[in-house]
Amino acid sequence: MGLRMANLAVLVLFASIGAVAAQYGSPDAAPGSAPPVPSPRDSVPSYISPVVAPTASPPSTATPTPPRPNPSPSAKPSLKVGYYQSSCPRAEKIIMQAVRSATSKNPGIGAGLIRMHFHDCFVQGCDASVLLDPTPANPQPEKLSPPNFPSLRGFEVIDVAKEALEKVCPGRVSCADIIAFAARDASFFLSRGRINFQMPAGRLDGRVSLFGEALTFLPPPFFNLSQLVANFKAKNLDEDDLVVLSGAHSIGVSHCSSFTGPLAPNPPAMDPAFATKVLSQCPLLSPNISGDPTVMQDIVTPDLLDSRYYTNVLKRKVLFASDAALLSSQQTSIKVLENVFMPSRWEMKFAKAMVKMAAIELKTAANGEIRKTCRVINN
């Protein structure tokens, strides 16, 4: 019944594609319209503060505002753009350089950083809990949970950025903010500059990381639409955020076990020819680190963060049941179609959704800190 409804929804949508395409043009032309990736010699993105001479506001003649009292330990931090302009003016530049270096060598690391942002915020909130290594007191942190291990990538980029930051402004920049900035910068570089936005900061790092919570709060790739909507709603994200953020599947790879294992059946609506091609890359072996190969999530533009993912959804050339689920209701099917034919609109919405997600369940001074090292809590 679900497959029949999905096919019916797609048929209804394709009946209107001619009119929409006439207005917005061909979706296949969208990737080619992206500007070239900025080189290190180009001007930095608009959201990056200059290193040497940040733009200063003209002196104010107004009466100075008295200093604010120290916030209550239970008060939630107030995120703002340019949070480190005074305390660590080079912070965003340093993080951007680490991300640019990594993604220029391997775009997949950028995809991992975007995914890390999602996996961090959905578990314990945006507090860098996903970065904590196992210890004798906590041998099973969330980074070792199946949704994260061994597939989550980019930890070394966070380490490089944190080490550089601690040299110039020790104890100032939280690991949670580094993840958020790194995901933003990865979005910028992987979209060839088309996804360009400011990320507010001021998060604190958490002290708790639990293996089981990653399984509880991260949506698995076999969720149906109602399960996905409920999962996002629990984090104050709506159905539109779900569809928009799913576009991150336009880049990166997936382990075969994510869509061929007994708990992750193939999407029922997967195009047969596509399924044959993909499954030929996935030998029927017991999943393990060495015997679990990866496949591209988007075979058309695998190294570009773009709206091509939604064309793949319409053509049923997607890996996960959760991808195919976006066509199981008329409302989400329309959103998919809009993102196909209005790529620039999706880029803006993706940026907005990333910022919205980055404010989930922030830590307070009572249960947060700024870690000296991102992999361990402070003593």
Catalytic residues: 119
* CB contact at 8 A, 213 and 368: no
Q: What CA–CA distance (Å, rounded) separates 336 from 308?
A: 11
Which DSSP string do the residues of 130-164 spell out, in sequence order? GGPPP-SS-S--GGGSTTTTTT---HHHHHHHHHH
- Two tokens, residue 142: 């969330």
One-character DSSP codes across 326-367? GGSSHHHHHHHHHHHH-HHHHHHHHHHHHHHHTTTT---TTT
Q: What sign results for the dihedral spanned by CA atoms 366, 371, 375, 379?
A: negative
Place of tokens 């080189």: 39
Q: Does the N-terminal peptide bond of residue 35 adopt cis geometry, omega within 30 degrees of 0? A: no
Between CA 49 and CA 92 the distance in angstroms is 7
Residue 369 β-bridge partners: 205
CA angle 182, 346, 24 (to 5 degrees): 145
Q: Are 355 and 177 in contact (CB under 8 A)?
A: no
Distance CA 346, CA 306 (A): 9
User: In 10 A of CB 3, how many CB atoms?
Assistant: 13
**Whose CA is closest to 118, among 232, 251, 208, 224?**
232
Q: Please say whether the beta carbons of 128 and 206 come within 8 A.
A: yes
Q: Return d(Cα 98, Cα 199) in angstroms, integer.
A: 17
Q: Judge whether 229 and 96 are in contact, CB under 8 Å.
A: no
